[in-house]
Chain A
């Protein structure tokens, strides 16, 4: 290990001792600062005139930035090609959730997969998008999507039911890819 301590470099103390020093030094600092901001301003102005904006700001929602693959948005249920949910109501996500925002009522089906959730509610006002439900799921049935635009006009609107949560598996391919790759060891 090679760590050492260094003293921080304070601006020149001498510049504060005489009034002239203060004025000169201060003026210099202010001019330097203004030059900096003017550079930005002119660059951005030029970019605006040329219609090739150089500002860092993204004009959301007209402009949107893509999320990285790892991004954890709202949890959704994977819908298989036959229209049914892949979820078998095993209850691991309900149990793993730190905020207890998932409610599942399991029920029997007549299909080959004998169990499914009759009720699958997520209280999005409690969900903190931590992704533990996705990590716990043994069936690849609940994944974190890239959707974060979920505001509602009422409290009731923050309670999402199974039908609201279903997303076709074809739309979730990048995320499923990511899970299999990143959680693999």
Chain B
């Protein structure tokens, strides 16, 4: 498939495609910046390519080289299920690139983030402003010459910026001009803000809405309140030190993030993990998925004032956490997966514990359903609310339960199986209406399917080693480190210099609870990643929120936001 993709691009754009690459199976094409838009359009429209989904836009700072920045786009086709990486280089003096928002509307936020972090300007972008950082921020932090410890000047009252930002801008700053500026009866719209400190915006997000009565006329979703510099932190540490940080991306299902990251590093090395390890990863991952879905369902119920199902959901989650705790050593911050393996094998009695707890969680799920699904109030709040047609969702780069609720069959475990998913039987639930009710039901069914997967894995898991036996990648066995010279030396070298993948770049996308979580890693041959990009589903999923709630009542924002299941750490990195 990827053979045809690159051939086709080359054929159609013989002079504009400067280079192609298939490192580790990733189809990658470097194009001239001026022709980026044409290539993008072709990639989307051509029937053999049909790259209708833009997953990610980011940049790599090759400081010292000219042109300095390489802007990278990751594309996916929901029909052909193949991938493409489009790259274009821009120079330091004038880092401008045409925006691809005319082709994929979801490029909007992604390009804003690239601008925020690298200072790359996208011409033709409808609204190029910072997204994560505040307006007075000086510099672009992901550039290699921006030191991690650099302090920023204070803003606000008493700072050199003088008047407080609040005084100058009584309402939200820097919003795009409103689509409508007059309400019914010719009255003025009321602008209020929801969040970032608000009981319903769990995960700190700020939504500035213009209201006409109770109807939302315009909305601007502002994320970034939980931005902690994940990428910059990973660049300054070794590959193995990034794993606890990936825990903190989607902290409700941390193991799935660990899995995605470690699979990406293993792809850089070009190694496969043994079968037992893969089964363990699937079991741990599905447990995390169950926990995440329970949070989503529970929080949705909570914010619709149904407190009881929320507590049932948390109880179910406690049972799952007991399992994760026994396996990984931590509930939320699991730190379970390692490069080339897992941190520890299943403890004794684990399978029995799973078989004890999972049926109880399913029972609790049934009780939650009993309280919610047919309840008329719940139905009234959820049915028909927050709809967007599937094509629009795809254009925004939305995936996961959100997209499946709209009827699109896209589950990476089924479309591009990884680990041992190709040996397992499970169903992928799809909705039909694409509204909140479908999203809710899809997640409920996914919990059941995850439980099914776990049971199959427990039956099928083979004996054998739990880690790769390549000593340049995996730390040696502890008991041997205490008494054997070569292993002691290995431990020292591994800890102090880290595993060193060969230079190259890879992208690995796996199905996390909210959609495709992708890791784009660039290695320069040293023990520290040159670039460690996390493509997080919550970020792309949050983009269409404004569209979903436009024209609806203010109260409809709550269940819509809840069922997008924005996890702050994942959205803001």
Q: Which A positions have Cβ atoms within 8 angstroms of B?
A: 1-11, 16, 22, 25-26, 28-30, 32-33, 36-37, 56, 67-72, 92, 95-96, 98, 128-132, 135-136, 138-140, 144, 179-180, 182-185
CB distance from A81 to the nearest CB of B (A): 18
- Supposing A3-B413, A16-B379 touch, asked if A11 and B325 sit within 8 A by C-beta, the answer is no
Query: Residues of A contacting B427 with CB < 8 Å?
Result: 3-6
A118 to B393, CA, bound (A): 59
**Are A135 and B475 within 8 A (Cβ)?**
yes
Docked complex Cα distance between A26 and B373 (Å): 11
Q: In chain B, what residue has the closest Cβ to A29?
A: B374
Known: A7-B432, A56-B318, A98-B244. A183 touches B445 (CB 8 A): no
For chain B, give the interface size range.
Answer: 35 or more
Contact with A along B466-482 (1 / 0, CB 8 A): 11000000010111111
Contacts of B492 in A (CB 8 A): 92, 138
B65 at the interface (CB under 8 A from A): no
Q: Is B344 in contact with A182, judged by CB distance below 8 angstroms? A: yes
Question: Are A1 and B422 CB-contacts (below 8 A) given A131-B329, A140-B482?
Answer: yes
Q: Which of B318, B343, B430, B482 contacts A138, CB < 8 Å?
A: B482
11 further contact pairs, Cβ within 8 A, besides A7-B430, A96-B495, A132-B240: A10-B432, A16-B383, A30-B376, A67-B325, A70-B325, A98-B242, A128-B244, A131-B343, A138-B481, A144-B329, A185-B467
**A-B residue pairs in contact (CB < 8 Å), sample of 16:** A6-B430, A7-B430, A10-B432, A10-B437, A11-B373, A11-B379, A33-B370, A36-B370, A37-B371, A70-B326, A72-B335, A128-B244, A130-B244, A136-B491, A183-B477, A184-B478
Closest A residue, CB atoms, query B411? A3
In the complex, are the beta carbons of A95 and B496 less than 8 A apart? yes
Contact across chains for B344 and A183 when beta carbons are under 8 A apart: yes
Residues on B with C-beta less than 8 A from A129 are 330, 333
- B478: which A residues are within 8 A, CB to CB? 135, 140, 179-180, 183-184
Residue of A nearest to B494 (CB): A136
B residues whose Cβ falls under 8 Å from a Cβ of A:
237, 240-245, 247, 308, 315, 318, 322, 325-330, 333, 335, 343-345, 347, 367, 370-371, 373-376, 379, 383, 405, 409, 411, 413-414, 417, 421-433, 437-438, 441-442, 444-445, 465-467, 475, 477-482, 488, 491-492, 495-496
Shortest Cβ gap from A109 to chain B (Å): 20
Q: Is the CB of B437 within 8 A of A70?
A: no
Contact A1 B343 (CB under 8 A): no
Q: Is the CB of B347 within 8 A of A33?
A: no
Provide the bound-state CA to CA distance between A128 and B409, in Å. 39
B325, A132: Cβ atoms closer than 8 Å: no
Task: Pick from A10, A29, A70, A182: contact of B376, CB below 8 A.
Answer: A29
Known contacts: A10-B437, A70-B329, A182-B347. The answer to whether A22 contacts B237 by CB under 8 A is no
Tell me the complex Cα distance, A13–B253, Å: 34
A6 vs B283: C-alpha distance in the bound complex, in angstroms?
22
**Which residues of A sit under 8 angstroms from B405, Cβ to Cβ?**
8
B482 near A185 (CB under 8 angstroms)? no
In the assembled complex, the Cα of A25 lies from the Cα of B427 at a distance in Å of 29
The interface residues of chain A, by DSSP majority, are classed as: mixed
Q: Which of A6, A92, A184 contacts B429 (CB 8 A)?
A: A6
Contact A26 B376 (CB under 8 A): yes
The answer to whether B413 touches A184, judged by C-beta atoms less than 8 angstroms apart, is no
Bound Cα distance A56, B330 (Å): 21
| Nearest A-chain residue to B341, judged by Cβ | A185
- On chain A, the residues within 8 Å of B373 by CB distance are 11
Q: Write the nearest CB–CB distance from A40 to chain B, whole angstroms.
A: 8
- The residue in chain B whose Cβ has the minimal distance to the Cβ of A35 is B370
Q: Which residues of A contact B345 (CB under 8 A)?
A: 182
Is A92 touching B442 in the complex (CB atoms < 8 A)? Answer: no
Known: A5-B428, A9-B441, A32-B374. A184 touches B479 (CB 8 A): yes
Q: A98 contacts B438, CB within 8 Å?
A: no
Contacts of A8 in B (CB 8 A): 405, 429-432, 438, 441-442, 444-445
Q: How far is the CB of A94 from the nearest CB of chain B, in Å?
A: 10
Q: Is the CB of B308 within 8 A of A1?
A: no
Which residues of chain B have C-beta atoms less than 8 A from A128's C-beta? 244, 333
CB distance A68 to B315 under 8 Å? no
Query: How many whole Å from A63's CB to the nearest CB in chain B?
Result: 14
| Chain A residue at minimal CB-CB distance from B420 | A1
Among residues of B, the one whose C-beta sits closest to the C-beta of A72 is B329
A56-B315, A144-B329 given as contacts; is B344 within 8 A of A4 (CB)? Answer: no
Please measure, in the bound complex, the distance between the C-alpha atom of A134 and the C-alpha atom of B480, giving whole angstroms. Answer: 15
By a CB distance below 8 angstroms, the chain A residues around B375 are 26, 29-30, 33
The answer on a CB contact under 8 Å between A28 and B374 is: yes
Across the interface, which residues of A come within 8 angstroms of B330, CB to CB? 71-72, 129-131
Q: List 9 tightest A-B contacts by C-beta distance, closest first.
A: A26-B376, A182-B344, A183-B478, A29-B374, A8-B441, A130-B244, A68-B326, A70-B329, A98-B241
